Amino acid sequence: MAATAVITLLGILLRWCVSLYPYSGAGKPPMYGDYEAQRHWQELTVNLPVKEWYANSTDNDLLYWGLDYPPLTAFHSYLCGLIARKLNPEFIELHTSRGFESYEHKLFMRYTVFVVDLLIYIPAAYFLFCALSRTSPRRKWGKREYMSLILYPGLYLIDYGHFQYNNASLGFFVGAVAALIKGQDCLGSILFCLALNYKQMELYHALPIFFYLLGICCRQGSIVGFFFKITKIGICVILTFVVIWSPFLSDAHVLLQVFYRLFPIDRGLFEDKVASFWCSISVLIKIKNLVDNTNMALICLLSTVVCMIPSSLHLFINPTPRHLRYSLVNGSLVFFLMSYHVHEKSILLVAIPACLIFSEEPFMVKWFFIVSLISMLPLMIKDGLTIPLLALTVLLYVILHYIQNNSSSHSKPKVKSPFWIWMIRSYYLSLAGLSFLTVVSLTLIPPPRLPDLFPVLLSIYSCGHFCFFSLYFHYCQFTLKYNRQATVKVKVH
């Protein structure tokens, strides 16, 4: 318990340190950035009726940070807006508050993120720690997962630096996984519905959870048991959606407008340089010039579903908590690599599931964490968050390196197979490449004809890593990694 408290306090301290740095779009009119988007949504939801939240009007210009997340995000913005109006009406005054920036408002916005951590994300991480401690052969496994969930820098660099509320949707997601591990399928279904209704990007995790629950239902031993289980889960899911969407169900036009805002095809395949498959191959093949947005979205959808089928079907056949955690990593990796309109920060949707297998894959998860953080370097440079990104990456490396080697120091002599020797060498070559790209990105000016040279190189390099991680974790899921007794211990000097 003392170690858990120390980890929690350290996580809070690091979040506070990051919050002292700039946020997305600080002092950059006319659109500012994600900080202004979150503030603007508070302005809209407090001052306009529900039916106008997602609709274009004289009071709601959708081209200026129109609301494009599901209703639960809108309700959260409404609640924050009510509090903001009590503190200072200028924070959310309709039209005139656009681009509002002050020390007091920044403090208020930072606190709103912290409250979500206290009420949702940290309790969910602790819930998972308790679930894993009771079901895993070694109680310390849950502690490692809790530590990685609390200390992984990517989440609070985006939420407390760049500025978003990913801790809300990811907190609900972690809580859902914890509930499923404990066998509380209805609670897990409800929590995941909350995550999906906060951010539609939780579709990254939807297919594994669906096939896991379906596999559980098929293992009830009888047709009656199957129908009872699936009906109970279905009722929980439907009721959760109905309650959340009830303000929009009375008007079909309003409902369709919400769906249109949630899946904006017109935004294109990608915006900035991101470590996805489509962005990487566009260096050689200009996909945007060959295929229109609608057809490209269909291609991405089919590609993503097809690539997710092997992992999902394997989970359906083997619906165990351990397979579920691996399948969540695999599904989210495929979604990140193959889906439509991916952002750099979407790698968080892969990193949080990776935290859930840290005890079983400390070496590979540590490697993935480092690549995921450096892959966001262009975004961090743009937001003025380069120093905390590099400092936290080094800190994370030191902490995980110590834990991995210290935990294996009391075990039997290590078995270093040729495969793992090759992996360790590849790991150091990988870090050398990341270091080189980081240095040149920060110190050199790209050629005028290639202004995006360094972000493109970094995205391609990171994409190659993510493809490799996807293959490796798929192999682990299909073979159940190995039997626990046969697991090879790897000590990296």
How many alpha carbons fall within 13 Å on the CB side of residue 247? 14
Cα–Cα distances in angstroms (integers) from residue 245 to residues 60, 210, 238, in the given order: 20, 21, 10
Residues 198, 168 contacting (CB under 8 angstroms): yes
Max CA separation in the chain (angstroms) = 71
Give the CA distances from residue 348 to residues 46, 50, 101, 221, in Å, rounded to whole numbers and listed in that order: 30, 30, 27, 38
Short-list 367, 87, 352, CA closest to 201: 352
> Over the stretch 146-203, which tens digit does the pLDDT of each residue have?
999 999 999 999 999 999 999 999 999 999 999 999 999 999 999 999 999 999 999 9
Per-residue pLDDT, 268: 77
Q: What is the pLDDT at residue 75? A: 97
DSSP string computed for 168-222: HHHHHHHHHHHHHHTT-HHHHHHHHHHHHHH-GGGGGGHHHHHHHHHHHHHTSSS
Place of tokens 């964490």: 369
Q: Please list the rounded mean pLDDT of every run of 10 residues in the chain (493 residues).
A: 90 96 90 94 96 92 92 97 96 92 94 97 96 71 90 96 96 98 96 97 96 95 93 97 94 91 83 88 87 91 95 95 96 95 92 95 95 96 96 93 64 60 94 97 93 94 97 92 39 41
Q: State how far the Cα of 73 lies from the Cα of 262, in Å rounded to an integer.
A: 12
Asked if 125 contacts 149 with a C-beta cutoff of 8 angstroms, the reply is yes
For residue 3, the model assigns a pLDDT of 86
Give the domain range for residue 131.
2-26+101-486
Q: Return the amino acid letter for 387.
A: I
Asked if the structure places residue 74 within a domain, the reply is no
Closest CA to 14 of 168, 154, 156, 146: 156
pLDDT value at residue 293: 87
- The domain total for the chain is 1
Structural domain includes residue 304: yes
| CA separation for the pair 345, 437 (Å, rounded) | 19
Per-residue model confidence (pLDDT) at position 417: 78
| Domain assignment present for 147 | yes
The model's pTM is 0.94
Locus of tokens 């540590």: 366
For residue 413, being part of any structural domain is answered with yes
Residue 48 lies in a domain: no
220 in a structural domain: yes
Q: Tell me which residue of 350, 365, 167, 184 sits closest to 275, measured CA to CA.
A: 350
427 lies in a domain? yes
Is residue 153 assigned to a domain? yes
pLDDT at 139 (0 to 100): 55
